[in-house]
């Protein structure tokens, strides 16, 4: 094996090692992340985990850039589960109202995040109290209220009034009592690939780098030993050849 071939093989081995950057994803989440990374020129791979979920991996040199892009683009949204009901047999009226408000808020958030250009959404509802028997408002003057916070990018093209009508239609609250705040992410409007603003250290990545470093040193050490042995063998062969030549000249 020549030195050039060995170095090429070593570089290929190191370059082929990918680092997982996202775990326990649904297939839809994995596809969204995969397409987003490809758009900015990062080669990514999607693989299925033993538990049926999916993970995304990129090359070592793209780890920080990919994580930064995913964070700024909010490709992985934080999971906000619906609060569970109380375990008591008879839930209080306030508990039922609280559970209904939170459940409806999560459903509206899910609807809002499905709009193109929406990176994240928060919805807080304050529904008017209703009579449990007749379903009418306890206080007719109380029409309820809602607050909506949305984080969007430059692809978002909806008006505040349209968002208010959407929330009003789902919650039954008057659009005049719905406050909508839209925050445009500055980093999301940039078309160029995202550059890391601060170093990000992943302990699992560091551990993998240590393993690769030890493996590389082991390979280099073995190659050096092979060169040393080959050099000594060549020297011994030359010395034996010289001895035979001298012996033949003396005998003649």
Q: For 182-195, what is each residue's pLDDT tens digit? A: 988 765 434 444 44
**How does pLDDT run across 214-239, given as a tens digit for each residue?**
666 667 666 666 666 766 666 666 66
Alpha carbon 194 to chain centroid distance? 14
Query: Quick one: tokens of 194?
Result: 């995202």
Between these two residues, 74 and 190, which has the higher pLDDT value? 74
Query: What is the distance between the alpha carbons of residues 161 and 59, in angstroms, rounded to a whole number?
Result: 44
Comparing 98 with 201, the larger pLDDT belongs to 98
Structure confidence at residue 13 as a pLDDT band (50, 70, 90): low
| pLDDT exceeds 60 at position 124 | yes
Output the pLDDT for position 105: 92
Question: Using CA atoms, how far apart are residues 108 and 170, in angstroms rounded to an integer?
Answer: 7
Beta carbons of 189 and 153 less than 8 angstroms apart: yes
Containing H/E element for 22? Answer: strand 18-25
To the question of pTM greater than 0.85 for the whole model, the response is no
Cα–Cα dist 77/106, whole Å:
13
User: Contact 173/167 with Cβ under 8 angstroms?
Assistant: yes
- Who wins on pLDDT, 195 or 27? 27
Residue 204's pLDDT is 46
Q: CA distances (Å), 162 to each of 112, 147, 155, in order?
A: 11, 14, 16
Across the chain, mean pLDDT equals 75
Which residues are CB-contacts of 38 (< 8 A; sequence separation ≥ 6)?
Answer: 44
In the chain, the DSSP E strands lie at: 18-25, 44-48, 54-59, 118-126, 145-152, 178-184
| 218 or 26, higher pLDDT | 26
Using alpha carbons only, give the angle 48, 53, 54 rounded to the nearest 5 degrees.
50
Rounded-to-integer distance, Cα 149 and Cα 179, Å: 9
**pLDDT tens digits for range 153-185:** 888 888 888 999 999 999 889 899 999 999 887
Tokens of 127: 């529904």
Domains of the chain as residue ranges with CATH: 1-74+199-247 (3.30.70.1530), 97-184 (3.30.300.30)
Strands 145-152 and 178-184: parallel
């Amino acid at each position: 094996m020549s030195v050039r071939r060995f170095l090429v093989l070593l570089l290929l081995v190191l370059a082929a090692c990918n680092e997982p950057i996202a775990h326990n994803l649904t297939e839809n989440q994995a596809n969204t992340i995969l397409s987003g990374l490809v758009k900015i020129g990062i080669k990514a791979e999607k693989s299925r985990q033993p538990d049926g979920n999916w993970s995304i991996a990129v090359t070592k040199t793209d780890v920080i850039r990919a994580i930064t892009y995913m964070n700024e683009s909010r490709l992985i949204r934080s999971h906000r589960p619906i609060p569970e009901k109380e375990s008591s047999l008879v839930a209080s009226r306030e508990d039922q109202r609280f559970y209904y408000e939170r459940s409806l808020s999560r459903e509206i958030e899910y609807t809002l995040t499905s709009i193109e250009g929406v990176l994240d959404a928060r919805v807080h509802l304050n529904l008017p109290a209703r009579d449990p028997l007749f379903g009418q408002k306890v206080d007719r003057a109380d029409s309820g209220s809602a607050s909506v916070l949305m984080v969007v990018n430059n692809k978002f093209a909806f008006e505040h009034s349209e968002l208010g009508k959407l929330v009003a239609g789902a919650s039954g609250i008057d659009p005049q009592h719905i406050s909508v705040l839209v925050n445009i992410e500055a980093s999301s409007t940039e078309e160029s690939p995202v550059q890391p603003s601060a170093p990000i250290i992943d302990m699992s990545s560091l551990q993998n780098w240590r393993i690769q470093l030890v493996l590389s040193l082991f390979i280099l050490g073995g190659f050096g030993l092979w060169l040393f042995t080959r050099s000594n063998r060549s020297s011994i062969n030359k010395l034996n050849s010289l001895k035979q030549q001298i012996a033949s000249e003396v005998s003649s």
